[in-house]
Amino acid sequence: MLQYLPRVWWVILLTTFYSSFSYALSAAECYSLRSDNDFAISFDINNASKNEVVGVRKGVGQLEILPLNLWSDKAFTLFDRVIYDPSIQIRRDYTIWLEYRADDGAQSNKTGTLYYYKVVNGEWSLIDSSDADLKGVNSVHLDVYGLNVDDLACDTQSVSPPILDNSRPEICDLFPEPAQSWVTNGTTNYSYYGASVMNVTNSTVQVNGWSDAYKQENTTQLHHSWDPNIKWNALRVGFDYTNTDWNMYSNSNLSVCDGMGCFPGNDDGNLAARKIDAPPLVDANFSTNQDLVITDGSLFDLRSYRHTCDLSPTSSSKCSYMDLGNNHIAITILQDIEYLDVSTYAGKKLTIHFADGISIEHFTYQGNTEVYFDKNTTVNFKTIVTASNASMTFESNAWINIAGSSLYAVDLLLNNPMLFNYVGESDSGFIYPVIYGPTATYQLKGQIFKGYLLAKQIILDTSITIQGAVTAHYLSMSNNANIQALNGSNQCSVSEEKSYALTISPSEDYTLTCKAQDISLQVVDEDGNPATDYTGYIEVSPSSNLTVVTGSGSSGVYQPNSSGLLELSLSSTKSEDKTVTTSLSSDTDTSNVSGTYHFVPYTFDVDDQYVIANKPQSVPITVQACDDSGGVIDIGYTGTPSYSSEWVAPTSGIGQLTMSNLAFSSGAATATLTMEDSGVKTVTLTDSKFNCSSYGSDCPIKGNGTLQGSFTVYSRPWTFAVCPSDGDAMDGNITDANSEGFKAAGESFALHIKPIRWVSNGSVSGAIETTNYCSSPVTQNFFSTDTQLAATVNLDHDVAEPSGGASGVLKDSDGDTSVTLLNTDGTSNSYYDFSGLTWSEVGVLQIQANTQSSYLGQTIQTGYRNIGRFYPAYLTITSNSWTYASNLDGFAYMNQPISYSFNVEAQNMSGGATTNYGDFGASLIANIKLVAVNTNAGNENIGARVADYDEHYWGDTTSWSGAALSVTRSFTLLKNETVSSPYTTSPDGPFTSGFGLEVTDSIDNVDFTDKSLARYTNQILDSTNKAFPTQPDFRYGRMVLSDVGGNSESTLSVPLKTQYWNGSQFVVNTEDSGSVFSTAGDGLCKQTIWQNTVQSSSSTLSGASAAVAVTNGQSSVVKVLPDSDTDLREKVRFWIRLDDSSTVSPQTTSSADIDCGSTYLNQPWLQYNWRGVGDEDPSAVVTFGIFRGNDRVIYRGEARMNN
């Protein structure tokens, strides 16, 4: 009966499996099989398509009969088949073994039985078998063929399926991150599980150690529905939902998952990727019905190990035992057991070992019992239940299967206090244990479990810490339960490598037996800053007589606070030396740090000193002792102790420590201490001739002795001097043009930053201006690699000039705005080379140098210096435009006033605006002027043809606003004047290029870039300037009235045009639909040239009683009306007045008999030198016929006949 067996976890192990048996198989063997002998065929299917076939055909001679398919998953095949498997699923992988057993006497009948095996759950499973008749192949010799299969191989020696290497699943496949569930939908074993759940009942729960890649892919931002502005990050986790959303993700202050909330669900559609694939079920055989009870009782107790186990075991022994001495008995369980119960009551310790691979259905133990899992062993259970005070010990690579049972509600119940031990943990390659039970429920109580837990349900309801990972369908965490990913080779969720170190302070001290010794342990990052992201633990040994002051924990395992600080108090009631050794649990490679503390009955009492390098400091000293009641008293010591000092950090430091004024008076002394350089030193005061008896009842002992005491000196640099890298003064300002500019905005520069010793009369508070201190002695110990002295030198900045100006952006050579160097990055223990710096602004920059955090518990005073002058890298025209008259399509006539605008911006090297530029003094601002050249005539200067040219100049600070010079003003390009009186011009142009800007005096070399507009004066180049991005279009224009003629009774049409000079001739200006004209009588001039009878004439122009615009440069609306006397014949000239108030058309002042109205149209730019008397209004000569004649005869006047 064929059954559907889906792809399971174990498929990933097939490569390992093949390595164990492929030596017996050969592709070549597939060409030498015989139907009368046994043989085996193996093959893989990768990404099944249900088109896979394996068969045999005739192996010798010509093919006579069709081949035979031995196995196929195709619904239909061309040839017969022995076995058909419809359960193969598309896109799954399979490993298959076909075993052919020839019938006896097959030499004649060529028949046998074909057995079909498939790998299921890591084991060969017999799927089907069938009689195989190979006679149709018509040959004893067979060839094997395969379609759509891989790794086809055959064997004639070992035809049974080989033993598979049932390797365990990879730990990191089961536990890729600190916590997750697995895919259940569509699986055979878990589809009934429903949705996975992660519940957290209080905010102290933490799940830490997620990989950086996982966080980058799965961090999301949440916000309150009632206030979208309140936002916080949450980490998507591989669970379907939670019943405790407030403690998981709804509270914006949560830090459950690496400082964020934990957000379950599938909001992004990638939930399955956050889960693991369905793990295989526990594959264990629980078939025995034999029970075993073991106690540590006497010979009279039949349950005693002496009776139930054998000292010299045989094959029938259930268990063996060995007496290790000191009431310690080692027991090994040798056979499968249904119920195993172990307990102690007689004062012995029982350590229970298990033979590899055995199965214990139900296991309970209590008392002084240690369950011990040996290296590389696998032990199977259905349930484990412990009582209090039990323990578990693991060697490397132990694997515990929990199959689960309906007998108990909890299948793995480890009660508090549960102790976990790890033998060989410090060895390289140690692998922490896996407790594996995908159908089981766990409840662990204890302090720290290191390893990996997989179960259907996991309940962590005490202050237990899981250092490793948890995979569960249901995960519940409460109280102070924590999950923390392991570091090193046991960590699956590999994050960005972070290095932490531990410092201890003080490292040595003398303390009275009636007082507690304070010990500070600080976790620091690789920069020496307090590690605010450290989520591991600090292990302290010995842990007796220790009290937590800051942080949490007990019994030698402690967690620092959010700043990485753990403060402990150590006490002793007797004179003794105590050495405390500490280490970080998260990094086994970190060296231990230790401190030694002398508990004495009397001592010099001196506070630890925090000093400035090279600055003398007063140190009060007394001598104290413990009285009989445990109180602290001052014994009134008089004497002069000696002193010695020893380097703590760096271990071989530079610089002396001196003390003076050590003579005591009335039980006290005020010494003067000077430590030349920075670092940490321990100072010990000693009076080896101390005679306590002279102090009477105040002395806790009698007789002579040595009086000692010690204190620690923490010395910091005074400040950081900000110095030029090349000796430049760097003292330019923004008001004095004689001061020297330093760098262009955005240009690279370098500074040398020096940690320096205190100088006489130097201030000990506030920031220090360091211009005069670049030659001061340097604190060379500051450059040390000692962990305790780790620091990060940081450059901040502000703008010194202009006051209140933009501070801009300071960047390092990598473009980072966090400008830092480690204290170990110094050059020759002399300075820090901050090269490749850039500042985006202009003005005077103030550089402030300090450390990112406190140094040895002190704040180094900020050193600063003003650096200038920074100036713009260049000017650029960001925009410009030309505003033409209405309905003039993108052009202007010469002499026609328009407006233009442009924006110039002062920029840094990256093209950013330098907004402080407008606050520079006038003498430091670039002066800018308009440029106009005739590109039609060798770029000759035509600035004189720009009306009011000298006013197109901007040379004071009022023109600038921030980084911008923004200009909008009138602009008139004048016609080429040939005679001033009467005003006469000649046509040229058009001008469509040649306009731009120049910097007339470049301060700090601030100028435009990419200047391409050359200007010549009398054919001599005088400058190269910046052309406007948008150029104008200026045209020489005129308005034209055509001469007309007709009979004395006709109304005649007078064509009107606007024209421009195109460089060779006048053409109609089709872009002009804005120029206007009018035939109103008061806007005309009229001259009678000739009449047949001299009389008054009423002939006139008509058609435009008000201003009318041309259309595309033309109009036909102008008419001329004849006089009412039809016998009158005459020639008349009419002008349309275009003057404005500043111009006079020549005909208006002519001595000839010309009558002119008093109004005009203000368009003098359309006047033209029509008659050689200067530029005047457009006119037309109209001729009314000399005689009437036949109406069919057309008379016309000769154009311009009377000009």
Position 46 confidence tier, pLDDT thresholds 50, 70, 90: confident
Q: What does the pLDDT average to over 1040-1052?
A: 93
DSSP H or E segment with residue 1090: strand 1084-1091
Instruction: Give the model's pLDDT for residue 17.
Output: 31
Has residue 9 got a pLDDT over 50?
no
* pLDDT score of 370 more than 90: yes
Is the confidence at residue 61, as pLDDT, over 60? no
Q: What pLDDT shows up at residue 697?
A: 59
Q: What is the mean pLDDT of residues 851-867?
A: 94
At residue 221, the pLDDT reads: 92
Q: Mind listing the pLDDT tens digit for each residue in 245-258?
A: 999 999 888 889 99
What's the whole-number mean pLDDT along residues 316-331?
A: 94
pLDDT tens digit string along 1124-1151? Answer: 998 899 999 999 999 998 889 999 988 8
Strand partners, 1059: 1038, 1068
Predicted local distance difference test score (pLDDT) of residue 106: 45
Region 901-928: what's the mean pLDDT? 95
Q: How far, in Å, CA of 1175 to CA of 860, rounded?
A: 82
- Residue 491 pLDDT exceeds 90: no
Q: What is the pLDDT of residues 508-536, one digit of tens each?
A: 999 998 999 999 999 988 777 888 888 78
Q: Is 559 in contact with 553 (CB distance < 8 Å)?
A: yes
Q: pLDDT tens across 619-652, in order?
A: 999 998 887 777 888 888 888 999 999 999 999 9
| Higher-pLDDT residue of 721, 66 | 721
Given pLDDT bands bounded at 50, 70 and 90, which one contains residue 1073? very high
Strands 1108-1109 and 792-801: unpaired
Q: What is the DSSP string of 573-632?
A: SSSEEEEEEEEETT-TTSPPEEEEEEEESEEEE---EEEETT--EEEEEEEEEE-TTS-E
The whole-angstrom separation of Cα 987 and Cα 391 is: 110
| pLDDT in the model for residue 4 | 28
- Number of neighbours of residue 1159 by Cβ within 10 angstroms: 14
Q: Tell me, what DSSP letter sits at residue 537?
A: -
Query: What does the pLDDT read at residue 587?
Result: 57
pLDDT of residue 545: 92
Q: What average pLDDT does the segment 435-454 reach?
A: 93
What confidence score (pLDDT) does residue 1169 get?
Answer: 97
Task: Kindly state the average pLDDT of the residues 927-938.
Answer: 96
What percent of the chain is modeled with pLDDT above 90?
A: 69
pLDDT confidence tier of residue 773, bands split at 50, 70 and 90: very high
**What's the pLDDT score for residue 728?**
81
- Predicted confidence (pLDDT) at residue 560 exceeds the cutoff of 60: yes
Window from 30-39, 1034-1043, 1176-1185 with minimum mean pLDDT = 30-39
Extract the runs of DSSP E, i.e. beta strands, from 790-912. Answer: 792-801, 810-811, 819-822, 832-839, 843-851, 863-871, 874-883, 892-893, 898-907
Report how far residue 1002's alpha carbon sits from residue 1024's, in angstroms, rounded to the nearest whole number.
13
Whether 1111 shows a pLDDT value over 70: the answer reads: yes
The partner residues of 609 in beta bridges, in order of sequence, read 713
Structure-block tokens of residue 1026: 């910046």
d(CA 39, CA 159) in angstroms, rounded, equals: 5
CA–CA gap between residue 246 and residue 204 (Å, rounded):
13
Whether the CB-CB separation of 901 and 883 falls below 8 Å is answered with yes
Contact between 671 and 621 under an 8 Å Cβ cutoff? The reply is yes
Stretch 293-303: mean pLDDT: 92
**pLDDT for 1200:** 46
| DSSP secondary structure string for all residues of 475-504 | EEE-TT-EEEPPPGGG-SSPPSP--EEEEE
Which range has the worst mean pLDDT, 193-197, 211-215, 605-609? Answer: 211-215
What is the percent of the chain where pLDDT is above 70? 92
Beta bridge partners of 223: 231
The pLDDT mean for the chain works out to: 89
Q: What pLDDT is attached to residue 7? A: 30
SS3 content of the chain, % helix, strand, coil (to 5): 10, 45, 45
SS3 1100: strand
More confident residue, 750 or 166: 750
Q: What is the pLDDT of residue 78?
A: 66
Rounded Cα gap, residues 515 and 513, in angstroms: 5
Q: In Å, how far are 191, 527, 847 from 794, measured between CA atoms?
A: 57, 11, 10
Q: For the residues 869-878, what does the mean pLDDT come to? A: 96
* Band (223; pLDDT cuts 50, 70, 90): confident
